[in-house]
Amino acid sequence: MDEQQLADIAAALYRLPLEEFVTARTTAAKTAAADSGRAPADDVRALPKPSAAAWAVNMLAVHRPGPLKELAELGALMRSAQNDLDAGALRSLAQERRQLLNKVMDTARTVAEEHGRKLSGAVATEVEQTLRAATVDEGAATAVRSGRLLRVLSADGVDRVDLRDAVAVPSVLTLPTVPAPEVGQAPEAKQPVQAPRKPTRRGAKAGAPADGAPAATSAEKPRLQAVRTERPAPTPSAVERAAARLAEADETAGAAAEEARLRTEEFEEAEADMTRLGEEARSLRERLKVVDVQFDQARKRRETAAAQMQLASRAAEKGRRAEVLARERVLRLRNTPD
């Protein structure tokens, strides 16, 4: 079984409801063993079960890929603005990202519920963290859109995202089309992942290994990190670096303020519910006291009625016996000659 076949099996597994993954993986491994032997079956069995947050992102990639494409395009614009040290553009794009993330998170919750799982608050936070990372790093955007994500991704807005063990069968990933930052530029066709290239020193010949390092061989497997576009970055001044971090901090503060507003609304709703239910509980307790009194009275009436019923039953039985005796006496007297 080659890598592409394994990737196809993985893609089919990671699009299933999370609870069905292990059973489906076992079935797929048995099929692979019957078709190709033990080694391919072991490869299938080795496919890890994704985390709940990664599963939710995979559901987006499979069933609603459009929002992830929008995030990738916005991330390309943000990286261009950061490379150009354009603080104004970064602030504007950061605000746009915050709005887009809110929209994509609503879609993620809907898609997850459509496929059998409601996202908890903690999982939703991890999903949003992963989607944010997709706007920071091109490789992270590729991982998120692959539909084979295994774990949560994170980024601080400056460093690249750690993508080790983040995607199943990363060697066959292709770079999704992301429009260049220039407005109106047509997107390029998908390109296969290339082996990573080290940036050359100024004055070195193109293609020559830096610092005497050996050139990469064509047999070397491509890595997920290779999807990043390498380009020389200018050295920012302290002020420019601070401006870039300010844009990120501004976005984070805005997101935190929005989160605080939502949590305040939830608190007020919960407090109103608690007050209403407290009033209902007090009313029910008072009603229960009345019912308890009525129950005691009914019990006493029942006991009294039971005693009177027993007396009446005895009296009725005694009357029936007296009637029988009287009837027998009348019969005897009638049959006795005068």
As a whole number, mean pLDDT of residues 197-206 equals 36
The pLDDT of residue 46 is 92
Over 50: is that where the pLDDT of 250 sits?
yes
Higher pLDDT, residue 256 or 239: 256
- What does the pLDDT look like over 306-317, one tens digit per residue? 999 999 999 899
Q: What is the pLDDT at residue 131?
A: 94
The confidence score (pLDDT) of residue 189 equals 37
> Tell me, what's the pLDDT at 242?
67
State percent of the chain over pLDDT 90.
34
Upper half-sphere CA count for residue 269 (Cβ side, 13 Å)? 6
Say yes or no to pLDDT of 203 above 50.
Answer: no
> Quick one: pLDDT at residue 265?
76
Min mean pLDDT across 88-102, 132-146, 219-233 is at 219-233
Beta carbons within 10 angstroms of residue 45's beta carbon: 14
Mean pLDDT of 227-234: 43
pLDDT tens track for 109-149: 999 999 988 999 999 999 999 999 998 888 999 999 999 99
Confidence of residue 218 (pLDDT cuts 50, 70, 90): very low
Cβ 222 vs Cβ 171: under 8 Å: yes
**pLDDT exceeds cutoff 50 at 232:** no
The pLDDT assigned to 241 comes to 60
pLDDT above 70: residue 186 = no
Q: What is the pLDDT of residue 249?
A: 72
Q: What percent of the chain has pLDDT over 70?
A: 75
Average pLDDT (181-197) is 37
d(CA 264, CA 253): 16
Where exactly are the structural domains of the chain? 3-45, 269-338
Across the chain, mean pLDDT equals 78
What backbone torsions phi and psi does residue 155 show, to the nearest 5 degrees? -155, 150
Q: Over 60: is that where the pLDDT of 176 sits?
A: no
Provide the b/e sequence for 72-100 (b: ≥16 CB within 10 Å). bbbbbbbbebbeebbbebbbebbeebbeb
Average of per-residue pLDDT across 243-254: 69
